[in-house]
């Protein structure tokens, strides 16, 4: 489920009503400094789509009528998610957008989730701020590998976070990134890596988060 704390609510956003002209929309975009903002209906409740500064400039440079309603250049009308959307739905919906509109339980415009905010959340999940090292561990993807790697590491320390990559069918190897807590010393790190490699788990990369 999408956390509301990640979403910028409507009250703090720059939005444009659907009956505003392209000329007025361009002025709002230039004053706000944003390259793209949401378009709402006249009630301010219904998300209609997004308007991009670049599309207005292109229209203007080609001699287009700037008194047309902003909806003439409306984009991303179907690009929105629910406040209750699953994380994976959110992640793949926002991939090519600077932000995605978020609707509440009544399908009214609630706010936006920005690309940057989502990336910040992902980086926090790695616990960079409280970690010491990130180990990239290569396994064959056999059943029980994650359990065995975790058991080896937790003989020496706790695990601050864990992210598994390359999990599609047909992948010959899987990469698992373990973030170790801040109290792990270089000596303890060496013992963890040595034990992993004794059990046929390769550790091709170690990132020192304190460096």
Q: Please give the residue range of the domain that contains residue 22.
A: 4-121
What phi and psi values does residue 184 have, to the nearest 5 degrees? -80, 125
The answer, yes or no, to whether residue 4 has pLDDT greater than 90, is no
CATH of the domain at 156: 3.30.70.260
pLDDT at 52: 97
pTM of the predicted model, to two decimals?
A: 0.70
What pLDDT is attached to residue 167? 55
**47 lies in the same domain as 146:** no
Confidence of residue 201 (pLDDT cuts 50, 70, 90): very high
Q: 37 and 116 share a domain?
A: yes
Whether 97 and 186 share a structural domain: no
DSSP state, 166?
A: -
> What number is the average pLDDT over the span 31-58?
96
pLDDT tens, residue by residue, 71-121? 999 999 999 999 988 777 787 788 888 999 999 999 999 999 998 888 877
**What residues contact residue 23 under an 8 Å CB cut-off, 6+ apart?**
66, 67
Residue 44's CB: how many other CB atoms inside 10 A? 11
Do 40 and 114 fall within a single domain? Answer: yes
């Amino acid at each position: 489920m999408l956390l509301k704390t990640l979403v910028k609510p409507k009250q703090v956003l720059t939005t444009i009503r659907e009956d505003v002209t392209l000329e007025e929309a361009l002025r709002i975009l230039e004053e706000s400094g944003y390259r793209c903002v949401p378009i709402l209906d006249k009630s301010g409740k219904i998300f209609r789509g997004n308007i991009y500064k670049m599309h207005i400039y292109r229209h203007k440079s080609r001699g287009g009528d700037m008194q047309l309603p902003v909806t003439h250049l409306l984009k991303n009308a179907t690009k929105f998610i629910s406040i209750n959307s699953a994380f994976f739905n959110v992640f793949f919906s926002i991939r090519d957008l600077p932000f995605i509109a978020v609707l509440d339980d009544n399908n009214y415009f609630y706010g936006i989730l920005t690309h940057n905010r989502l990336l910040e959340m992902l980086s926090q999940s790695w616990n960079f701020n409280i970690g010491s090292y990130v180990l990239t561990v290569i396994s064959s993807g056999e059943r029980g590998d994650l359990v065995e790697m975790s058991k080896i590491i937790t003989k020496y320390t706790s695990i601050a976070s864990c992210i598994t990559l390359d999990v599609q069918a047909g992948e010959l190897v899987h990469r698992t990134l373990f973030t170790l807590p801040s109290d792990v010393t270089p000596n303890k790190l060496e013992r963890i890596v040595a034990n992993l490699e004794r059990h046929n788990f390769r550790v091709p990369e170690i990132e020192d988060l304190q460096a």
